[in-house]
Chain A
Protein backbone atom coordinates (compact mmCIF):
# COMPACT_ATOMS: atom_id res chain seq x y z
CA UNK A 1 0.00 0.00 0.00
CA UNK A 2 2.88 2.36 0.66
CA UNK A 3 4.70 1.94 -2.65
CA UNK A 4 1.94 3.13 -5.01
CA UNK A 5 1.48 6.25 -2.91
CA UNK A 6 5.19 6.97 -2.98
CA UNK A 7 5.15 6.59 -6.74
CA UNK A 8 2.15 8.91 -6.98
CA UNK A 9 3.82 11.57 -4.86
CA UNK A 10 7.03 11.14 -6.81
CA UNK A 11 5.22 11.62 -10.10
CA UNK A 12 3.46 14.69 -8.79
CA UNK A 13 6.70 16.23 -7.67
CA UNK A 14 8.34 15.60 -11.02
CA UNK A 15 5.37 16.87 -12.96
CA UNK A 16 5.08 20.04 -10.97
CA UNK A 17 8.74 20.85 -10.59
CA UNK A 18 8.38 23.36 -13.35
CA UNK A 19 9.47 22.80 -16.88
CA UNK A 20 13.08 23.56 -17.69
CA UNK A 21 13.69 27.27 -18.16
CA UNK A 22 16.91 26.97 -19.99
CA UNK A 23 17.74 24.71 -22.84
CA UNK A 24 20.02 25.43 -25.68
CA UNK A 25 19.28 23.02 -28.46
CA UNK A 26 21.18 24.10 -31.53
CA UNK A 27 23.51 26.25 -29.43
CA UNK A 28 20.96 29.04 -28.91
CA UNK A 29 18.87 29.73 -25.83
CA UNK A 30 15.32 28.41 -26.01
CA UNK A 31 12.02 28.94 -24.25
CA UNK A 32 10.16 26.13 -22.53
CA UNK A 33 8.11 25.75 -25.72
CA UNK A 34 11.28 25.10 -27.75
CA UNK A 35 11.31 28.40 -29.63
CA UNK A 36 14.44 30.58 -29.66
CA UNK A 37 14.53 32.84 -26.62
CA UNK A 38 15.32 36.40 -27.65
CA UNK A 39 15.54 37.71 -24.08
CA UNK A 40 18.55 39.84 -23.30
CA UNK A 41 20.15 43.23 -23.72
CA UNK A 42 21.19 43.82 -27.32
CA UNK A 43 22.84 46.61 -29.27
CA UNK A 44 23.48 47.20 -32.94
CA UNK A 45 27.09 47.42 -34.06
CA UNK A 46 26.64 49.91 -36.91
CA UNK A 47 26.59 53.67 -37.57
CA UNK A 48 23.28 53.38 -39.40
CA UNK A 49 21.59 55.87 -37.09
CA UNK A 50 23.69 58.57 -38.72
CA UNK A 51 23.03 57.25 -42.22
CA UNK A 52 21.77 53.85 -43.34
CA UNK A 53 23.82 54.18 -46.53
CA UNK A 54 27.61 54.15 -46.71
CA UNK A 55 28.79 57.60 -45.68
CA UNK A 56 31.98 59.54 -45.06
CA UNK A 57 32.60 61.77 -42.07
CA UNK A 58 30.93 65.16 -42.12
CA UNK A 59 30.61 68.23 -39.95
CA UNK A 60 28.02 68.71 -37.24
CA UNK A 61 27.00 72.11 -35.88
CA UNK A 62 30.33 74.02 -35.94
CA UNK A 63 30.23 75.12 -32.31
CA UNK A 64 30.38 71.48 -31.20
CA UNK A 65 33.48 70.59 -33.20
CA UNK A 66 34.18 66.88 -33.35
CA UNK A 67 31.71 66.07 -30.55
CA UNK A 68 28.68 66.17 -32.81
CA UNK A 69 30.34 65.46 -36.14
CA UNK A 70 28.94 62.58 -38.18
CA UNK A 71 31.34 59.63 -38.10
CA UNK A 72 31.97 57.55 -41.24
CA UNK A 73 30.43 54.15 -41.64
CA UNK A 74 29.41 51.36 -43.93
CA UNK A 75 25.79 51.19 -44.95
CA UNK A 76 23.36 48.44 -44.03
CA UNK A 77 21.18 48.51 -47.14
CA UNK A 78 21.26 45.79 -49.78
CA UNK A 79 22.60 47.47 -52.91
CA UNK A 80 23.57 50.53 -50.84
CA UNK A 81 20.77 52.66 -52.24
CA UNK A 82 17.20 53.54 -51.34
CA UNK A 83 14.77 53.39 -54.29
CA UNK A 84 12.92 56.66 -53.66
CA UNK A 85 10.19 57.91 -55.94
CA UNK A 86 11.18 61.36 -57.24
CA UNK A 87 9.10 63.42 -54.81
CA UNK A 88 10.33 61.33 -51.89
CA UNK A 89 13.94 61.80 -53.00
CA UNK A 90 13.32 65.57 -52.94
CA UNK A 91 11.88 65.25 -49.46
CA UNK A 92 14.98 63.39 -48.28
CA UNK A 93 17.22 66.17 -49.60
CA UNK A 94 15.09 68.78 -47.79
CA UNK A 95 15.24 66.68 -44.62
CA UNK A 96 19.01 66.47 -44.87
CA UNK A 97 19.38 70.22 -45.31
CA UNK A 98 17.24 70.80 -42.22
CA UNK A 99 18.41 67.82 -40.19
CA UNK A 100 19.67 69.79 -37.18
CA UNK A 101 16.20 71.25 -36.76
CA UNK A 102 13.79 68.67 -38.12
CA UNK A 103 15.15 65.26 -37.10
CA UNK A 104 12.56 63.81 -34.71
CA UNK A 105 15.44 62.33 -32.69
CA UNK A 106 16.45 65.88 -31.81
CA UNK A 107 13.07 66.43 -30.21
CA UNK A 108 13.16 63.12 -28.27
CA UNK A 109 10.34 61.81 -30.41
CA UNK A 110 9.81 58.07 -30.69
CA UNK A 111 12.22 56.66 -33.28
CA UNK A 112 9.86 54.29 -35.06
CA UNK A 113 10.74 50.95 -36.60
CA UNK A 114 13.32 50.01 -37.87
CA UNK A 115 15.39 52.99 -36.62
CA UNK A 116 14.89 52.11 -32.94
CA UNK A 117 16.82 48.90 -33.53
CA UNK A 118 19.99 50.58 -34.83
CA UNK A 119 20.25 53.59 -32.58
CA UNK A 120 23.56 53.58 -30.67
CA UNK A 121 21.82 52.62 -27.41
CA UNK A 122 20.82 49.24 -26.04
CA UNK A 123 17.47 47.57 -26.38
CA UNK A 124 16.18 44.86 -24.08
CA UNK A 125 13.94 42.00 -25.10
CA UNK A 126 11.68 40.24 -22.61
CA UNK A 127 10.48 37.00 -24.16
CA UNK A 128 8.38 34.33 -22.50
CA UNK A 129 6.11 31.67 -23.99
CA UNK A 130 3.24 34.01 -24.75
CA UNK A 131 4.66 37.46 -24.21
CA UNK A 132 7.20 39.51 -26.12
CA UNK A 133 8.18 43.06 -25.22
CA UNK A 134 10.99 45.03 -26.84
CA UNK A 135 12.10 47.99 -24.71
CA UNK A 136 14.46 50.62 -26.06
CA UNK A 137 16.66 52.82 -23.92
CA UNK A 138 16.15 55.90 -26.11
CA UNK A 139 13.12 57.85 -24.94
CA UNK A 140 11.78 54.74 -23.23
CA UNK A 141 10.34 53.58 -26.55
CA UNK A 142 8.69 50.18 -26.38
CA UNK A 143 6.87 47.67 -28.58
CA UNK A 144 4.52 44.95 -27.50
CA UNK A 145 4.91 42.20 -30.09
CA UNK A 146 1.77 40.19 -30.64
CA UNK A 147 2.50 36.47 -30.73
CA UNK A 148 -1.14 35.50 -31.24
CA UNK A 149 -3.41 36.02 -34.23
CA UNK A 150 -2.51 39.21 -36.12
CA UNK A 151 -4.16 42.43 -34.98
CA UNK A 152 -4.85 45.28 -37.37
CA UNK A 153 -3.99 48.82 -36.30
CA UNK A 154 -6.96 51.05 -35.55
CA UNK A 155 -5.06 54.35 -35.49
CA UNK A 156 -1.60 55.33 -36.63
CA UNK A 157 1.35 55.36 -34.27
CA UNK A 158 5.09 56.07 -34.12
CA UNK A 159 6.15 52.51 -33.36
CA UNK A 160 3.47 50.80 -35.45
CA UNK A 161 1.70 47.63 -34.47
CA UNK A 162 3.82 44.46 -34.41
CA UNK A 163 2.46 41.03 -35.31
CA UNK A 164 4.87 38.09 -35.13
CA UNK A 165 5.06 34.53 -36.40
CA UNK A 166 7.78 31.89 -36.50
CA UNK A 167 9.49 30.74 -39.68
CA UNK A 168 11.50 27.83 -38.29
CA UNK A 169 13.91 29.41 -35.83
CA UNK A 170 13.46 32.88 -37.32
CA UNK A 171 11.07 35.30 -35.68
CA UNK A 172 9.28 37.31 -38.36
CA UNK A 173 7.58 40.52 -37.20
CA UNK A 174 5.29 42.46 -39.55
CA UNK A 175 4.96 46.08 -38.53
CA UNK A 176 2.36 48.46 -39.94
CA UNK A 177 0.06 51.29 -38.89
CA UNK A 178 2.79 53.92 -38.92
CA UNK A 179 2.03 57.63 -38.81
CA UNK A 180 4.80 58.41 -41.31
CA UNK A 181 6.47 60.95 -39.04
CA UNK A 182 9.58 59.03 -37.94
CA UNK A 183 12.83 59.26 -39.89
CA UNK A 184 15.03 56.32 -40.78
CA UNK A 185 18.28 58.04 -39.74
CA UNK A 186 19.89 61.45 -39.08
CA UNK A 187 20.46 61.96 -42.81
CA UNK A 188 16.78 62.52 -43.44
CA UNK A 189 15.98 59.15 -44.98
CA UNK A 190 12.29 58.57 -44.48
CA UNK A 191 9.13 56.66 -45.31
CA UNK A 192 5.42 57.51 -45.13
CA UNK A 193 2.33 56.25 -43.39
CA UNK A 194 1.83 53.48 -45.93
CA UNK A 195 5.04 51.86 -44.71
CA UNK A 196 5.08 48.18 -43.89
CA UNK A 197 8.20 46.62 -42.38
CA UNK A 198 8.92 42.91 -42.23
CA UNK A 199 11.63 42.17 -39.66
CA UNK A 200 13.50 38.90 -39.30
CA UNK A 201 15.43 37.95 -36.17
CA UNK A 202 17.74 34.93 -36.52
CA UNK A 203 20.34 33.84 -33.98
CA UNK A 204 23.96 33.67 -35.20
CA UNK A 205 25.26 31.75 -32.21
CA UNK A 206 23.98 32.36 -28.69
CA UNK A 207 25.16 35.97 -28.37
CA UNK A 208 24.26 37.55 -31.70
CA UNK A 209 21.09 38.07 -33.70
CA UNK A 210 21.16 38.71 -37.43
CA UNK A 211 18.47 41.29 -38.09
CA UNK A 212 16.96 42.24 -41.39
CA UNK A 213 14.11 44.59 -42.25
CA UNK A 214 12.35 44.82 -45.59
CA UNK A 215 10.61 48.16 -46.13
CA UNK A 216 7.70 48.54 -48.49
CA UNK A 217 5.88 51.82 -49.10
CA UNK A 218 4.46 52.35 -52.60
CA UNK A 219 3.95 56.04 -51.85
CA UNK A 220 7.64 56.58 -51.11
CA UNK A 221 9.67 53.82 -52.77
CA UNK A 222 9.55 52.29 -56.25
CA UNK A 223 10.14 48.81 -54.83
CA UNK A 224 10.73 47.11 -51.47
CA UNK A 225 14.27 47.27 -50.11
CA UNK A 226 16.11 45.51 -47.31
CA UNK A 227 18.58 46.45 -44.61
CA UNK A 228 20.52 44.03 -42.45
CA UNK A 229 22.93 44.21 -39.52
CA UNK A 230 23.89 42.31 -36.39
CA UNK A 231 22.60 42.83 -32.85
CA UNK A 232 25.19 41.87 -30.25
CA UNK A 233 24.34 40.69 -26.75
CA UNK A 234 25.59 42.63 -23.73
CA UNK A 235 27.67 39.94 -22.00
CA UNK A 236 27.09 41.36 -18.51
CA UNK A 237 23.90 39.77 -17.15
CA UNK A 238 23.74 42.25 -14.27
CA UNK A 239 23.05 45.16 -16.60
CA UNK A 240 19.62 46.14 -17.80
CA UNK A 241 18.34 49.29 -19.47
CA UNK A 242 18.67 52.52 -17.56
CA UNK A 243 16.21 55.34 -17.99
CA UNK A 244 16.81 57.79 -20.85
CA UNK A 245 13.90 60.18 -20.61
CA UNK A 246 15.09 62.92 -22.93
CA UNK A 247 11.87 64.95 -22.92
CA UNK A 248 13.08 67.46 -20.30
CA UNK A 249 16.21 68.09 -22.40
CA UNK A 250 14.08 69.27 -25.31
CA UNK A 251 11.70 71.64 -23.54
CA UNK A 252 13.79 74.76 -24.06
CA UNK A 253 14.17 73.86 -27.71
CA UNK A 254 10.48 73.17 -28.32
CA UNK A 255 8.81 75.69 -26.04
CA UNK A 256 11.45 78.33 -25.35
CA UNK A 257 9.63 80.97 -27.38
CA UNK A 258 6.74 80.76 -24.89
CA UNK A 259 8.82 81.01 -21.72
CA UNK A 260 8.27 83.97 -19.45
CA UNK A 261 11.10 86.40 -20.05
CA UNK A 262 12.83 87.93 -17.08
CA UNK A 263 11.74 91.50 -16.66
CA UNK A 264 14.40 94.19 -16.77
Chain B
Protein backbone atom coordinates (compact mmCIF):
# COMPACT_ATOMS: atom_id res chain seq x y z
CA UNK B 1 0.00 0.00 0.00
CA UNK B 2 2.64 2.49 1.09
CA UNK B 3 4.87 1.41 -1.75
CA UNK B 4 2.14 2.10 -4.27
CA UNK B 5 1.62 5.57 -2.81
CA UNK B 6 5.33 6.22 -3.02
CA UNK B 7 5.33 5.25 -6.66
CA UNK B 8 2.61 7.76 -7.33
CA UNK B 9 4.84 10.40 -5.78
CA UNK B 10 8.18 9.37 -7.12
CA UNK B 11 7.43 8.84 -10.78
CA UNK B 12 5.92 12.26 -11.38
CA UNK B 13 8.67 13.85 -9.29
CA UNK B 14 11.36 12.24 -11.39
CA UNK B 15 9.55 13.13 -14.57
CA UNK B 16 9.40 16.69 -13.31
CA UNK B 17 13.16 16.74 -12.72
CA UNK B 18 13.94 15.24 -16.09
CA UNK B 19 11.80 17.83 -17.88
CA UNK B 20 14.83 20.16 -17.52
CA UNK B 21 14.98 22.02 -20.85
CA UNK B 22 11.27 22.88 -20.79
CA UNK B 23 11.69 24.41 -17.37
CA UNK B 24 14.41 26.65 -18.77
CA UNK B 25 11.95 28.11 -21.25
CA UNK B 26 9.73 29.82 -18.71
CA UNK B 27 9.74 33.49 -17.82
CA UNK B 28 10.56 34.34 -14.21
CA UNK B 29 6.84 34.59 -13.50
CA UNK B 30 6.15 31.16 -14.97
CA UNK B 31 4.74 31.81 -18.44
CA UNK B 32 6.12 29.93 -21.46
CA UNK B 33 9.02 32.00 -22.78
CA UNK B 34 8.72 33.07 -26.41
CA UNK B 35 11.17 35.95 -26.11
CA UNK B 36 14.01 36.75 -28.43
CA UNK B 37 14.68 37.50 -32.07
CA UNK B 38 12.93 35.18 -34.50
CA UNK B 39 12.46 34.74 -38.22
CA UNK B 40 9.62 33.08 -40.11
CA UNK B 41 11.42 33.09 -43.45
CA UNK B 42 10.67 29.95 -45.43
CA UNK B 43 10.72 28.67 -48.99
CA UNK B 44 7.40 26.91 -48.51
CA UNK B 45 4.67 28.73 -50.39
CA UNK B 46 1.41 29.81 -48.79
CA UNK B 47 -0.64 27.63 -51.11
CA UNK B 48 0.25 24.25 -52.54
CA UNK B 49 1.33 24.69 -56.17
CA UNK B 50 -1.33 23.28 -58.49
CA UNK B 51 1.12 20.84 -60.09
CA UNK B 52 1.53 19.02 -56.75
CA UNK B 53 -2.13 18.00 -56.63
CA UNK B 54 -2.96 16.27 -53.36
CA UNK B 55 0.62 15.86 -52.22
CA UNK B 56 0.68 17.05 -48.61
CA UNK B 57 4.33 16.36 -47.77
CA UNK B 58 7.63 16.15 -49.58
CA UNK B 59 9.99 13.27 -48.90
CA UNK B 60 13.43 14.32 -47.71
CA UNK B 61 14.86 13.92 -51.18
CA UNK B 62 11.99 15.75 -52.86
CA UNK B 63 12.36 18.59 -50.37
CA UNK B 64 16.03 18.98 -51.27
CA UNK B 65 15.21 19.12 -54.97
CA UNK B 66 12.42 21.59 -54.34
CA UNK B 67 14.68 23.84 -52.28
CA UNK B 68 17.27 23.91 -55.05
CA UNK B 69 14.63 24.73 -57.63
CA UNK B 70 13.01 27.45 -55.54
CA UNK B 71 16.29 29.11 -54.71
CA UNK B 72 17.35 29.04 -58.37
CA UNK B 73 14.00 30.28 -59.62
CA UNK B 74 13.85 33.16 -57.21
CA UNK B 75 17.46 34.11 -57.54
CA UNK B 76 16.85 36.00 -60.71
CA UNK B 77 20.46 35.74 -61.78
CA UNK B 78 19.60 32.54 -63.60
CA UNK B 79 17.02 34.31 -65.68
CA UNK B 80 18.69 37.58 -66.43
CA UNK B 81 19.63 36.76 -70.00
CA UNK B 82 16.23 35.39 -70.82
CA UNK B 83 14.70 38.47 -69.32
CA UNK B 84 16.84 40.90 -71.24
CA UNK B 85 15.42 39.55 -74.44
CA UNK B 86 11.92 39.31 -73.06
CA UNK B 87 12.13 42.90 -71.86
CA UNK B 88 11.16 42.00 -68.34
CA UNK B 89 12.03 44.81 -65.98
CA UNK B 90 12.67 42.24 -63.31
CA UNK B 91 12.88 42.49 -59.60
CA UNK B 92 15.35 41.60 -56.90
CA UNK B 93 17.86 38.79 -56.99
CA UNK B 94 18.61 36.65 -54.00
CA UNK B 95 20.98 39.18 -52.49
CA UNK B 96 18.01 41.23 -51.39
CA UNK B 97 15.91 38.27 -50.35
CA UNK B 98 15.47 36.63 -47.00
CA UNK B 99 13.30 33.64 -47.71
CA UNK B 100 15.63 31.43 -45.79
CA UNK B 101 17.23 28.41 -47.37
CA UNK B 102 14.78 25.70 -46.49
CA UNK B 103 11.19 24.58 -46.50
CA UNK B 104 9.27 24.12 -43.24
CA UNK B 105 10.65 21.30 -41.05
CA UNK B 106 7.53 19.21 -41.58
CA UNK B 107 8.24 19.28 -45.34
CA UNK B 108 4.63 20.21 -46.03
CA UNK B 109 4.06 21.45 -49.54
CA UNK B 110 2.19 24.56 -48.36
CA UNK B 111 1.90 26.76 -45.31
CA UNK B 112 -1.84 26.18 -45.44
CA UNK B 113 -2.62 22.99 -43.52
CA UNK B 114 -6.39 23.28 -43.56
CA UNK B 115 -8.21 22.80 -45.92
CA UNK B 116 -6.52 19.53 -46.88
CA UNK B 117 -5.85 20.73 -50.43
CA UNK B 118 -3.41 23.29 -49.06
CA UNK B 119 -5.15 26.21 -50.74
CA UNK B 120 -7.18 29.18 -49.56
CA UNK B 121 -10.86 28.11 -49.64
CA UNK B 122 -13.02 29.60 -52.37
CA UNK B 123 -14.89 32.80 -51.74
CA UNK B 124 -18.65 32.76 -51.43
CA UNK B 125 -20.42 33.70 -54.65
CA UNK B 126 -20.99 37.25 -53.43
CA UNK B 127 -17.38 37.63 -52.34
CA UNK B 128 -16.16 36.14 -55.62
CA UNK B 129 -18.10 38.79 -57.52
CA UNK B 130 -16.56 41.47 -55.36
CA UNK B 131 -13.12 39.96 -55.95
CA UNK B 132 -13.62 40.07 -59.70
CA UNK B 133 -14.77 43.67 -59.47
CA UNK B 134 -11.63 44.48 -57.48
CA UNK B 135 -9.46 42.94 -60.19
CA UNK B 136 -11.33 44.82 -62.92
CA UNK B 137 -11.08 48.06 -61.00
CA UNK B 138 -7.36 47.60 -60.51
CA UNK B 139 -6.89 47.07 -64.23
CA UNK B 140 -8.81 50.24 -65.08
CA UNK B 141 -7.43 52.35 -62.24
CA UNK B 142 -3.94 51.12 -61.47
CA UNK B 143 -2.92 54.30 -59.67
CA UNK B 144 -5.45 57.12 -59.51
CA UNK B 145 -4.49 57.70 -55.90
CA UNK B 146 -2.46 55.74 -53.33
CA UNK B 147 -5.67 54.00 -52.28
CA UNK B 148 -5.48 51.99 -55.51
CA UNK B 149 -2.08 50.61 -54.49
CA UNK B 150 -1.10 47.84 -52.11
CA UNK B 151 -0.77 48.47 -48.39
CA UNK B 152 2.88 47.49 -48.73
CA UNK B 153 3.48 50.18 -51.34
CA UNK B 154 1.68 52.73 -49.16
CA UNK B 155 3.87 51.70 -46.21
CA UNK B 156 0.79 50.98 -44.14
CA UNK B 157 1.41 47.29 -43.52
CA UNK B 158 3.24 44.14 -44.56
CA UNK B 159 2.47 40.47 -44.16
CA UNK B 160 4.19 39.77 -40.85
CA UNK B 161 3.04 42.79 -38.86
CA UNK B 162 -0.49 41.62 -38.19
CA UNK B 163 -2.43 38.40 -37.86
CA UNK B 164 -1.99 36.06 -39.69
CA UNK B 165 1.79 36.53 -39.70
CA UNK B 166 2.73 35.57 -43.24
CA UNK B 167 6.32 35.82 -44.46
CA UNK B 168 7.31 38.38 -47.06
CA UNK B 169 10.23 37.94 -49.46
CA UNK B 170 12.60 39.64 -47.05
CA UNK B 171 13.11 41.05 -43.56
CA UNK B 172 10.97 38.38 -41.91
CA UNK B 173 12.31 39.24 -38.49
CA UNK B 174 10.55 39.64 -35.18
CA UNK B 175 11.43 40.68 -31.64
CA UNK B 176 9.26 39.21 -28.91
CA UNK B 177 9.27 40.61 -25.38
CA UNK B 178 7.03 39.48 -22.54
CA UNK B 179 5.86 40.94 -19.27
CA UNK B 180 3.27 39.43 -16.93
CA UNK B 181 0.53 41.45 -18.66
CA UNK B 182 1.66 41.51 -22.31
CA UNK B 183 3.22 39.56 -25.10
CA UNK B 184 4.55 42.10 -27.58
CA UNK B 185 5.74 41.23 -31.06
CA UNK B 186 7.68 43.73 -33.12
CA UNK B 187 8.01 42.96 -36.82
CA UNK B 188 10.96 44.46 -38.68
CA UNK B 189 8.92 45.31 -41.76
CA UNK B 190 7.35 48.69 -41.11
CA UNK B 191 8.51 48.50 -37.48
CA UNK B 192 5.12 47.10 -36.48
CA UNK B 193 4.50 46.57 -32.79
CA UNK B 194 1.65 44.22 -31.89
CA UNK B 195 0.78 44.67 -28.24
CA UNK B 196 -1.13 41.62 -26.98
CA UNK B 197 -2.60 41.95 -23.47
CA UNK B 198 -2.86 38.56 -21.75
CA UNK B 199 -4.76 39.60 -18.64
CA UNK B 200 -8.28 39.06 -19.95
CA UNK B 201 -9.18 42.66 -20.70
CA UNK B 202 -11.94 43.00 -23.33
CA UNK B 203 -11.45 43.97 -26.96
CA UNK B 204 -11.83 47.55 -28.11
CA UNK B 205 -15.37 48.59 -29.08
CA UNK B 206 -16.45 47.16 -32.43
CA UNK B 207 -16.51 50.57 -34.06
CA UNK B 208 -12.80 51.12 -33.34
CA UNK B 209 -10.87 49.59 -36.23
CA UNK B 210 -7.13 49.30 -36.67
CA UNK B 211 -4.89 48.25 -39.55
CA UNK B 212 -3.33 45.65 -37.25
CA UNK B 213 -6.65 44.76 -35.67
CA UNK B 214 -6.97 44.34 -31.93
CA UNK B 215 -5.41 41.31 -30.27
CA UNK B 216 -6.03 39.60 -26.94
CA UNK B 217 -4.10 36.57 -25.72
CA UNK B 218 -3.99 33.95 -23.02
CA UNK B 219 -1.74 30.99 -22.26
CA UNK B 220 -3.35 27.57 -22.56
CA UNK B 221 -0.73 25.25 -21.15
CA UNK B 222 2.38 25.81 -23.24
CA UNK B 223 0.60 27.68 -26.00
CA UNK B 224 -0.13 31.37 -26.39
CA UNK B 225 -3.55 31.71 -28.00
CA UNK B 226 -4.26 35.11 -29.56
CA UNK B 227 -7.57 36.30 -30.95
CA UNK B 228 -7.59 39.29 -33.31
CA UNK B 229 -10.66 41.25 -34.31
CA UNK B 230 -11.47 44.93 -35.14
CA UNK B 231 -9.56 44.73 -38.41
CA UNK B 232 -9.97 47.52 -40.97
CA UNK B 233 -11.21 45.53 -43.98
CA UNK B 234 -8.97 46.04 -46.98
CA UNK B 235 -8.49 44.28 -50.28
CA UNK B 236 -4.70 44.55 -50.29
CA UNK B 237 -4.18 42.96 -46.94
CA UNK B 238 -2.05 39.88 -47.09
CA UNK B 239 1.23 41.31 -48.33
CA UNK B 240 2.81 39.57 -51.26
CA UNK B 241 1.41 36.17 -50.36
CA UNK B 242 -2.12 36.97 -51.35
CA UNK B 243 -2.83 40.16 -53.18
CA UNK B 244 -6.17 41.62 -54.23
CA UNK B 245 -8.58 40.04 -51.85
CA UNK B 246 -11.88 40.54 -50.09
CA UNK B 247 -12.38 41.03 -46.36
CA UNK B 248 -15.42 41.70 -44.22
CA UNK B 249 -15.61 43.43 -40.87
CA UNK B 250 -16.15 39.99 -39.33
CA UNK B 251 -12.57 39.00 -40.16
CA UNK B 252 -11.07 37.15 -37.21
CA UNK B 253 -7.81 35.29 -36.64
CA UNK B 254 -6.88 32.89 -33.88
CA UNK B 255 -3.16 32.30 -33.56
CA UNK B 256 -1.29 29.70 -31.54
CA UNK B 257 2.36 30.15 -30.59
CA UNK B 258 4.10 27.16 -28.99
CA UNK B 259 7.78 27.05 -28.06
CA UNK B 260 8.56 23.57 -29.29
CA UNK B 261 12.26 23.76 -28.48
CA UNK B 262 15.09 26.16 -27.76
CA UNK B 263 15.31 27.06 -31.47
CA UNK B 264 11.72 26.81 -32.62
CA UNK B 265 8.30 28.34 -32.18
CA UNK B 266 5.47 26.58 -33.98
CA UNK B 267 2.97 29.13 -35.25
CA UNK B 268 -0.54 28.28 -36.33
CA UNK B 269 -3.16 30.77 -37.40
CA UNK B 270 -6.78 30.18 -38.39
CA UNK B 271 -8.53 32.83 -40.47
CA UNK B 272 -12.30 33.01 -40.39
CA UNK B 273 -14.29 35.48 -42.43
CA UNK B 274 -17.75 34.98 -43.91
CA UNK B 275 -16.32 35.90 -47.33
CA UNK B 276 -14.62 32.49 -47.38
CA UNK B 277 -16.60 29.26 -47.68
CA UNK B 278 -14.49 27.73 -44.91
CA UNK B 279 -11.86 28.78 -42.39
CA UNK B 280 -8.22 28.27 -43.32
CA UNK B 281 -5.20 27.53 -41.17
CA UNK B 282 -1.50 28.09 -41.75
CA UNK B 283 1.40 26.49 -39.92
CA UNK B 284 4.83 28.13 -39.97
CA UNK B 285 7.90 27.48 -37.85
CA UNK B 286 9.87 30.38 -36.46
CA UNK B 287 13.61 29.94 -36.00
CA UNK B 288 16.11 32.17 -34.22
CA UNK B 289 17.20 35.28 -36.07
CA UNK B 290 20.91 35.76 -35.66
CA UNK B 291 21.75 39.40 -35.97
CA UNK B 292 19.83 42.52 -35.17
CA UNK B 293 16.58 43.87 -36.49
CA UNK B 294 17.30 46.86 -38.74
CA UNK B 295 15.04 49.92 -38.90
CA UNK B 296 12.58 49.75 -41.77
CA UNK B 297 11.44 53.36 -42.07
CA UNK B 298 9.21 52.77 -45.08
CA UNK B 299 7.07 55.88 -45.47
CA UNK B 300 10.02 58.18 -44.87
CA UNK B 301 11.88 56.90 -47.93
CA UNK B 302 8.93 56.11 -50.14
CA UNK B 303 10.06 57.47 -53.49
CA UNK B 304 8.21 54.49 -54.87
CA UNK B 305 4.75 55.93 -54.32
CA UNK B 306 5.45 59.24 -56.04
CA UNK B 307 7.27 57.23 -58.71
CA UNK B 308 4.32 54.95 -59.36
CA UNK B 309 1.77 57.76 -59.48
CA UNK B 310 3.91 60.02 -61.65
CA UNK B 311 4.72 57.13 -64.00
CA UNK B 312 1.06 56.37 -64.60
CA UNK B 313 0.23 60.09 -65.04
CA UNK B 314 2.98 60.35 -67.64
CA UNK B 315 1.70 57.29 -69.48
CA UNK B 316 -1.80 58.77 -69.49
CA UNK B 317 -0.45 62.05 -70.81
CA UNK B 318 1.42 60.33 -73.63
CA UNK B 319 -1.57 58.17 -74.50
CA UNK B 320 -3.75 61.24 -74.65
CA UNK B 321 -1.27 63.11 -76.82
CA UNK B 322 -0.76 60.30 -79.24
CA UNK B 323 -4.50 59.86 -79.41
CA UNK B 324 -4.94 63.35 -80.73
Contacts and interface: CB of A to CB of B under 8 A. Distances in A.
Tell whether any CB of A sits under 8 Å from a CB of B in the complex.
Answer: yes
Identify whether the interface residues of A are mostly helix, strand, loop, or mixed: loop
Which size class do B's interface residues fall under?
35 or more
Interface residues of A, number: 60
A74 B323 CA distance: 63
Nearest to B30: A18
A21 B179 CA distance: 9
B178 A128 contact: yes
B154 A251 contact: yes
Contacts of A64: none
B179 A39 contact: yes
Interface string A141-165: 1101010000100110111000000
A20 B180 CA distance: 11
A158 B297 contact: yes
Nearest to A135: B193
Interface string A197-224: 0000000000000000000000000000
Contacts of A57: none
Give the residue among A21, A128, A157, A258 with the most B Cβ atoms within 10 A. A258
A94 interface: no
A122 B167 CA distance: 30
Contacts of B69: none
Interface string A74-105: 00000000000000000000000000000010
Interface stretch (B21-29, B255-263, B276-284): B21-29
B24 to A, nearest CB: 10
Contact of A110 (B179, B186, B300): B300
A158 B199 CA distance: 33
A250 B302 CA distance: 12
A32 interface: yes
Contacts of B184: 126, 133, 135
Contact of B210 (A39, A238, A242): A242
Given A6-B9, A21-B180, A144-B175, A32 B28 contact: yes
B13 A128 contact: no
B309 A259 contact: yes
A9 to B, nearest CB: 5
A247 B154 contact: yes
B97 interface: no
Given A9-B9, A135-B193, A110 B297 contact: yes
A5 B146 contact: no
Given A109-B300, A157-B295, A251-B305, 14 more contacts: A6-B9, A19-B28, A124-B195, A127-B179, A128-B178, A129-B28, A131-B178, A135-B184, A140-B193, A158-B300, A159-B295, A237-B199, A245-B210, A255-B305
Interface of B: 2, 6, 9-10, 13, 16-17, 23, 26-30, 35-36, 141, 143-147, 154-156, 175-182, 184, 186, 190-193, 195, 197, 199, 201, 204, 208, 210-212, 292-295, 297, 299-300, 305-306, 309-310, 312-313, 316
- Which 6 residue pairs of A and B lie closest in terms of their CB atoms, listed nearest first? A21-B29, A18-B30, A32-B28, A258-B309, A131-B177, A157-B295
